[in-house]
Structure 1
């Protein structure tokens, strides 16, 4: 628990440092481009002191759109986008999560998160125990109305928790509470590689799962568009 509290303090420090004045939503070249009237940026990073946390180099602001595309997630992995829920970031709120059953696919709406207010946001990957619906009473036949059907993935979580902590709730979690107690306290998966493909930030976690991240914001004016486009690779 001390490690989690320390991680929360570090996260608050790093995210606070990223809070800059962005009246025109500037981004850092060369990880930017213009497409369909949107300024697109892959300016994200991982701090060496927090090797599992991806965060924007500059604070997200109202009307930003985050494009988060998990290329592959293992069955026991959950990709989590959280935002600070307190000024010191000792508490965080789940914005969205993805698992291997719901990684968006061709539905780009699933992979796009509309930012409604400026805050400190961060992305991380968590492994939880693999479970089976049969273990909580689910039969082999889905049409059997006499059995409890609770799936093979955790789908509900405590909304507010310490940062970097994912706490499953609901029936499936109740049936697996013993194995979850330890798993909830383990650290998120570390990032083993990060790179940029044009204006897309690509991060790979230990175990091989890869996520593509972009920040989009409506271009402010032609002048900013021209400046952002100079020498910047297309997405």
Structure 2
């Protein structure tokens, strides 16, 4: 498989989200060494970073390409936190698309495959953490009496979001969102959670956010001779 990376220069013009009028990630010059190992026909890389000019955004130092597998494993998330993987949905990245998100509900499950995202096309991908209002698992505000037949169970997390939005913007939809509109409007005006610390543990990138939430991130890239490399 021949890989052609997207040039990192000027690659993520993050603009137009509610927290500010315009936010841009300037050209990034990658100088860090590759934190990688080789296993099972894959090059395992933890070569991710946070640019100090965009202190809440984690991105791969090498552009992700078709056939890559991105592993994102949240170790701890607060009940009001959502770890988000987005990709650019327009050439200038004024629009982005949700690829996957994680909440405290789906951490530590037996199926680790949920933490793995197969990259189907080369693009600009980025990872960030957002805090939204805490919600009650009792209902959406209907049928508050214990034995009411019209109680609507809505869960304790938002589970449905607008697919396309400005980057670094997470817009819940559905019944639960409708019932919490006022709190959501306030939350969407706030910035994503800042990265407090980043480190490399071998070929794993470990990011710690303000508040203590942690995620472990790897990129798996098929090496020559791997049968999947020919797919």
Contiguous gaps of at least 5 residues in structure 1: 19-27, 223-235
Aligned counterpart, 1:117: 121
Provide closer, same or farther for how the CA distance between residues 29 and 140 of structure 1 changes in structure 2, counting only shifts above 3 A. farther
Aligned counterpart, 1:175: 179
CA distance in 2, matches of 1:14, 1:93: 22
Aligned counterpart, 2:162: 158
Could you list the structure 1 runs, at least 4 aligned residues long, displaced by more than 4 angstroms after superposition.
Answer: 138-141
Cα offset, 1:218, TM superposition: 1.0
Aligned counterpart, 1:225: none
Cα offset, 1:3, TM superposition: 5.2
Cα offset, 1:36, TM superposition: 1.1
Within 5 Å, which residues of 2 pair with 1:22-101?
29-101=33-105
Provide closer, same or farther for how the CA distance between residues 3 and 126 of structure 1 changes in structure 2, counting only shifts above 3 A. closer
| Higher percent of residues as helix | 1
Preserved CA contact (<8 Å) 1:42 1:200 = yes
Preserved CA contact (<8 Å) 1:64 1:216 = yes
User: TM-score, structure 1 length as denominator?
Assistant: 0.82
Provide closer, same or farther for how the CA distance between residues 87 and 30 of structure 1 changes in structure 2, counting only shifts above 3 A. closer
**Aligned counterpart in structure 2 of residue 103 of structure 1, from 93, 107, 116:** 107
Provide closer, same or farther for how the CA distance between residues 206 and 95 of structure 1 changes in structure 2, counting only shifts above 3 A. same
Contiguous gaps of at least 5 residues in structure 2: 1-16, 227-231
Preserved CA contact (<8 Å) 1:70 1:212 = yes
CA distance in 1, matches of 2:80, 2:98: 18
**Aligned counterpart in structure 1 of residue 151 of structure 2, from 139, 147, 152:** 147
